Amino acid sequence: PINIGQCRSYGNPTSIVEYDSIKSDCLQAEGCLFCDKYCIHADEVDIRKIVSLKFVIKESRYIAKNEAHYLSVFSIVLDRVDNILTQLKSVHNKADVVETIELDVFENENLSPYWERKLSVLVDMGVLK
Q: Give the model confidence (pLDDT) of 97-119 as tens digits.
A: 999 999 999 999 999 999 999 99
Of the pLDDT bands very low, low, confident and very high (cuts 50, 70, 90), residue 50 is very high
pLDDT at 62: 87
pLDDT at 119: 96
Distance from first CA to last CA of the chain, Å, rounded?
29
Q: Is 3 left (phi over 0), alpha (psi -120 to 50) or beta?
A: alpha
pTM value is 0.93
Q: How far apart are CA 120 and CA 44, in angstroms?
A: 22
Q: DSSP labels for 61-108? A: GGGSSSHHHHHHHHHHHHHHHHHHHHHHHHHS--HHHHHHHHHHHHHH
pLDDT at 115: 97
Q: Give the model confidence (pLDDT) of 13-48 as tens digits.
A: 999 987 777 888 888 888 899 999 999 999 999 999
